[in-house]
Structure 1
Amino acid sequence: MDSLDLSALSLARDWFAAGHAVWLVTVVDAWGSAPRPPGALLVLRGDGAVAGSVSGGCVEDDLVERVRSGGNGDRPEVLAYGVTSEQAARAGLACGGRLRVLVEPLRDTTWVTEVMDRVSRHERVRRTLSLADGSVSLATAGRDDTFSFDGSTLRALHGPRWRLLVVGAGQLSQAVATMALSLDFEVHACDPRDSYHAAWRIPGATLHRGMPDDVALALGLDAHTAVAALSHDRKLDDLVLLEALKSPAFYVGALGSRRNDADRRERLGQFDLSADQIARLRGPIGLDLGGRTPAEIALSVMSEVVAVRHGSPLARRRPLTEATP
């Protein structure tokens, strides 16, 4: 569940507390060009107000009509859209997309408050809903847990699945951290240099003051973690790379020019890294978007991270010039 869905869930709690009837609508299956993935959430109020989304808007319109006409019941139910050509046209899915959504009445918000509290502590939570009786239970979710629905039980995930470790706490790192947070990454920054700590002002990101290799080991880099070495201090950047390139981290990149990248790879080759491990390094870091400011470079870095995460083909990397710190 991303931050927009969490915001909708928080609003559902407020509406319920104000005395409104509230339903949660969750995408449980999506095929073709359906715009929202499984797990996406919409909150529907008894007077037709909505928060969040499950499609581009037309499915939402149909759901609003249902609630205004009294079509929503007091038990969870599954609705299908786009199954027939008539439904596809009516629901705005004529381009071929299909989706099923689960509509459940919100009966109690105790679990919502617990989810919000645990996610604020960077925990990942699994919510299990039984369609038979509408009961909800919560448990700690692992990073390998995924959303699932088998027709009788919904297992939805709340909280960040993806992590980013940034080495360096300078202006560029702050821009990258801010952008990563907006993309629903759990963000950790590491910089042992005291002179950079006072200017760190990124709410929601954790700043570590230890050495980068120690921080990387403590975090336990896994297949849902990206690492960006941005300190512009080769000693610090090399330390995290020595650990990250041996880990399952899905993305490992480092700031610098092509010349610096070649020198870095030569240095790394003097340690206990194989040629295949060194080849995992993405450098110069980021896609070549032509930008020079910290915010533009941060965009190029996070664009590459997201592309790698989704397995999308990458554009040309940054040019020969040194990236501006």
Structure 2
Amino acid sequence: MTFDRAHLATLIADHGPVVRVVVAQVAGSTPREVGASVTVWPEGQDGTIGGGTLEYKAVATARAMLTQGRDIATRTVALGPDMGQCCGGRVRLLWERFTETSLPEGDTFCRPIAGAPATLKVQQIQNRARNQGDAPSPALVDGWMIEPITTTPAPVWIWGAGHVGRALVATLTALPGLAITWVDTGPDRFPGTIPEGVTALPAPNIAEATRFAPTNAHHIVMTYSHALDQAICDGLLTRGFASAGLIGSDTKWARFRKRLQQSGHPFAEIDRIRCPIGDKVLGKHPAAIALGVAADIVRDVARAGDGALGDKGTGNDRRLSGD
């Protein structure tokens, strides 16, 4: 469970101020865990803290807060005696009103519920999150509600579902903070099972699909055809991108570079595309190529400050030659 800032911002943009109800603390048998939340606006709600009487009354309180303009409230509820629910536990809820200007920044949302001072334990959690990237679990600590903030995943587009493309997708899906779009010319090009969290995009005119890629996306081009590779590179240079890599040899890249310049792209932009890619020391097995290329992507994402892969960093680039 995390504090999804981007989703909350979307709800506020659509509905105005909202009240988010979060499970801050539990004891015994409860419908949901700490960090579960429901967000409420006058005409609707999103998410759940378990349904039933608890949620019904929590939502009613949230709507009253919106009417009254109250910003924060908390209450501990004994589910059996107070709500008549069969669960025998206790839940502490926290209601918070959010507007466009009151959304938290950073990677961790730490706030006192009732003016509690920041204890050493709270400061240590904040320091670990800030200095070491150690995301805390949602918890109520010494009167402070602490939640990790969801980081918008970095868009990564993989062009080609051949052996290397499949190995690369399998490698990248183990990493956090990436939104992977996998493109090839038809459904038959993909494996029978697409990994969870990966969007498969069959595109008969694959170069045209570059129009749908966000301009902050990171791309790896490795289709079965040099002609398609070149057309995709041309489309990406027209569309714009955060980073791009092309599988191939120095000879292939020299040929592509000249053709892309003849198509009207300046060399300064063309040379933002890396070719060859990967780490030739690792060898030419698809899994080895994927490992080197994945390292390139991680460095690119970190330098851009995207996703949940850490701070901007540096690294030594070593490339793979091959077709």
TM-score of the aligned structures, taking structure 1 as reference length? 0.53
Greater relative contact order (Cα < 8 A, sep 6+) = 2
> 1:64 corresponds to which residue?
none
Q: Is the 8 A contact 1:226 1:305 kept in 2?
A: yes
Q: Is the 8 A contact 1:81 1:100 kept in 2?
A: no
Deviations 1:257-302 (A, max 9, x none): 1111211112211112111110101110123442321111111111
Q: 1:237 aligns with which of 229, 238, 243?
A: 229
Q: 1:98 to 1:81 in 2, by over 3 A?
A: farther
Q: 2:162 aligns with which of 165, 170, 185?
A: 170
Q: 1:208 to 1:17 in 2, by over 3 A?
A: farther
> 2:253 corresponds to which residue?
261
Deviations 1:128-183 (A, max 9, x none): xxx99x8xxxxxxxxxxxxxx9xxxx89336x521111111112111111222222
1:216 equivalent to 2:210? Answer: yes
> 1:181 corresponds to which residue?
173
Please state whether the residue corresponding to 1:163 is helix, strand or coil: strand
Report deviation, 1:233: 1.0
> 1:277 corresponds to which residue?
269
Please state whether the residue corresponding to 2:274 is helix, strand or coil: coil
Q: 1:24 to 1:254 in 2, by over 3 A?
A: same
> 2:30 corresponds to which residue?
19
Alignment of 1:1-325 (within 5 A): 18-19=29-30, 22-24=33-35, 77=112, 80-81=120-121, 104-105=139-140, 156-157=149-150, 160-184=152-176, 185-193=178-186, 196-197=189-190, 201-210=194-203, 211-219=205-213, 221-223=214-216, 225-311=217-303, 312-319=313-320, 321-322=321-322
RMSD: 4.3
Report deviation, 1:16: 8.4
Report deviation, 1:239: 1.8
Please state whether the residue corresponding to 1:296 is helix, strand or coil: helix
Q: 1:21 to 1:193 in 2, by over 3 A?
A: closer
Q: Which moved more, 1:191-200 or 1:304-313?
A: 191-200
Q: Is the 8 A contact 2:135 2:148 kept in 1?
A: no
Q: 1:293 to 1:101 in 2, by over 3 A?
A: closer
Percent identity reads: 18
Amino acid at match of 1:291: G
Q: Which structure has the bigger radius of gyration?
A: 2
Q: 1:275 to 1:23 in 2, by over 3 A?
A: same
Q: Is the 8 A contact 2:183 2:200 kept in 1?
A: yes
CA distance in structure 2 between the partners assigned to 1:174 and 1:305 by the alignment: 15
CA distance in structure 1 between the partners assigned to 2:31 and 2:215 by the alignment: 42
CA distance in structure 1 between the partners assigned to 2:186 and 2:273 by the alignment: 24
Q: Is the 8 A contact 2:194 2:200 kept in 1?
A: no
The aligned length equals 212
Report deviation, 1:79: 5.0
CA distance in structure 2 between the partners assigned to 1:181 and 1:98 by the alignment: 20
Please state whether the residue corresponding to 2:273 is helix, strand or coil: coil
Report deviation, 1:240: 1.6
Q: Is the 8 A contact 1:82 1:98 kept in 2?
A: no
Q: Is the 8 A contact 2:154 2:301 kept in 1?
A: no
